[in-house]
Structure 1
């Protein structure tokens, strides 16, 4: 990694987490599963499923349910994927209704998609790399207009 990539300012950063209303059902399912295991193994070990399954559910929701969208160091990063800004083309913003068409009949199967259903807006960024078979990136981001402005001014 070059020194400029390390010291480059972050132009945009957003982390998408699972909202509060997405937590009760998985936690209830983990508690129910722990209770079922508890009924099968009474005694001293009865607390063990609760100690293991509930924190595991929290960890899975926190880790797998979040994604970071960032523009820094001359790259666009969405989760673990990254692409240099000079390889980006047209930037489009979709609202919740436009997202249906972009994710439905208009979706290219070769596209990189990072969709979070609880986030309304999406951004589509076309790639201008002839060696990359991915035509565009389509990803959820709450501050879609702000990100699009950052990407357009690069």
Structure 2
């Protein structure tokens, strides 16, 4: 039986709000040159920034026996146990306790973090740390791999 899971890590509301600072910056720079047309250019630049943020948003995907997180993918058969990292442990997992060989698919502003062990002995990556909007659903989907 085949199953799938898909999730896109979109920019947070605060990241979109902060990107709006592009509008007055571009407007002030182009105002002496373009006059009234400067606001149109500023809004166009902001739309390009938003489109870039959306296009570069990372995707988590479980399909056809593979798990993809961002630009990396691995067969589900090579994954070990997965666990939800508690919010209070996120800082240590991403800082002092982080193994430099681990694969990170981290998106700031996301509250969920899942640690997925790699059981392949020939792979130097010991585990993946993956940001998610819904850690329980991701762990459940990974546990249904067999």
Contact 1:95 1:120 in 2 (8 A): no
For residues 108-154 of structure 1, what are the alpha-carbon distances to aligned partners after superposition, in whole Å with 9 as ceiling and x for unaligned? 11111111221111111111223322111101112212221221232
* Distance in 2, Cα, partners of 1:41 & 1:134: 53
Unaligned runs of 5+ in 2: none
CA gap of 1:36–1:91, structure 2 versus 1, over 3 A, is same
Aligned residues: 145
Post-superposition shift, 1:43?
Answer: 4.7
* Distance in 2, Cα, partners of 1:51 & 1:116: 26
Post-superposition shift, 1:10?
Answer: 4.0
Instruction: Verify: 1:153 aligned to 2:130, yes or no.
Output: no
Give the structure-2-normalised TM-score: 0.86
Unaligned runs of 5+ in 1: 1-7
> Could you tell me which residue of structure 2 aligns to residue 97 of structure 1?
88
CA gap of 1:9–1:60, structure 2 versus 1, over 3 A, is same
* Distance in 2, Cα, partners of 1:135 & 1:122: 16
